[in-house]
A = this chain, B = another copy of it.
Amino acid sequence: MKQRLYAPGPVELPPEVLAALARPVLHHRTPEYLELQQRVGERLTDVFMVPGHEVLTLSGSGSTAMEAAFINCVPVGAEVLVINGGKFGERWLRIAEAYRHPVVELAVEWGQAADPAELTALLRKHPATAAVLATHSETSTGVLHDIEALSRAAREAAPDSLFIVDAVTSLAAAELTPLAWDLDAVVSGSQKGLLTPPGLGFVWLSPRAWASSRDLHPRFTLDLRKRQGGRQPTTPATSLMVALDVALELLLAEGLEQVISRRTRLNEQLLQGAEELGYRRFAERVSPAVAALTVPAGVSARALVKHLAQRGLVIGGGQDQLADTVIRPSLLGHADDYDVGLLLAALHEALKALAQS
């Protein structure tokens, strides 16, 4: 059966990226690999929009990058504030709890975008907050939180607090300018908008975040200071780096702005087309990384996801309390207009089939 991957990560990869994975393995101490590593580093600063800075690559997932950012700039025991509007806001909460930090939570209803005024109010009550942990694209709800406004609100209410952003699914899908928005950490992963298999995490820290060296958590492989300047204290995932190099070349050849606008357009077309079929958009403020859709009344989202999977088409299902009502197809991968048509036809067929059953 033909397999099709339309989940919000891992995503379908361009054939050039798959072919690069099959190249003979490079040793990580050879001039050839060091050159590739440097080129990937430069391309990552372009995609992260942090010219002249360094984006570090880790073996691991987006969560590894989240954890690394957290333990490399938040002092042991410091109070942190988590903006929590879904599964990935929850992940920040779990990380802060695992490291035994007191947590103030800005709980956001699933599907809604966080309100900067609420953040201001909460930070005024907690002026000692060492860091605000935010999600740019909340993949579980399809919401794109307004990081620019939230960061500004945080900076005004708690000027010394760090602002740390999970951009795992938003990178190269939505506008993100860490320097202009005065962010302190941005993390992402390889298997989403960067069109590479899962297994790499990325971390960018601001000079302010790098400077916070007071009472940091014990750590070894995730000690980012040991990785600055292209150093490799441990063996990197060289084959994934080779694939990432090709993927970044493709993305930057198209142009970051063009990639973002294509993804925004395809996702919007998918949402609109699905609305005409009777689905409803779930997110108040839409992330281009995923089309969160409430299925029509009387239809089980779970059954619909299963129906598609049985035909080789993989989309994201609703998570937790949304499992019965929401589906999450995504065009974040190697996708164009024809994929929108294919997905809408599949969503239409599935509704008909489930109505008959």
Q: Which residues of A contact B (CB under 8 A)?
A: 3, 5, 7, 9-13, 18-19, 21-28, 30, 59-64, 67, 94-95, 98-100, 189, 191, 197-199, 217-221, 223, 233-240, 309, 314
Knowing that A11-B25, A59-B198, A61-B234 are A-B contacts, what are 20 other residue pairs whose CB atoms are under 8 Å apart, sorted by A's residue number? A3-B24, A5-B24, A10-B235, A18-B21, A18-B22, A21-B21, A22-B22, A25-B198, A30-B309, A30-B314, A59-B59, A59-B64, A61-B235, A63-B220, A63-B221, A67-B220, A67-B221, A198-B239, A199-B237, A239-B240
Minimal beta-carbon separation of A289 from chain B (angstroms): 15
Contact in complex: A219, B98 (CB < 8 Å): yes
Q: Which chain B residue has the least Cβ–Cβ distance from A58?
A: B60
Contact in complex: A220, B95 (CB < 8 Å): yes
Contact in complex: A235, B9 (CB < 8 Å): yes
Contact of A25 among B13, B30, B62, B220 (CB under 8 A): B13
Contact in complex: A18, B12 (CB < 8 Å): no
Q: Which chain B residue has the least Cβ–Cβ distance from A19?
A: B22
Q: Which chain B residue has the least Cβ–Cβ distance from A240?
A: B199
Contact of A63 among B28, B197, B234, B314 (CB under 8 A): B234
Name, among A19, A94, A234, A238, the residue most crowded by chain B CB atoms within 10 Å (CB to CB): A234
Name the B residues within 8 Å of A223 (CB-CB).
Answer: 98
Minimal beta-carbon separation of A77 from chain B (angstroms): 11
Contact in complex: A5, B19 (CB < 8 Å): no
Contact in complex: B28, A221 (CB < 8 Å): no
Contact in complex: A22, B24 (CB < 8 Å): no
Contact in complex: A198, B314 (CB < 8 Å): no
Minimal beta-carbon separation of A99 from chain B (angstroms): 5
Q: How many angstroms between the C-alpha atoms of A59 and B63 in the bound complex? A: 11
Contact of A64 among B99, B217, B221 (CB under 8 A): B221
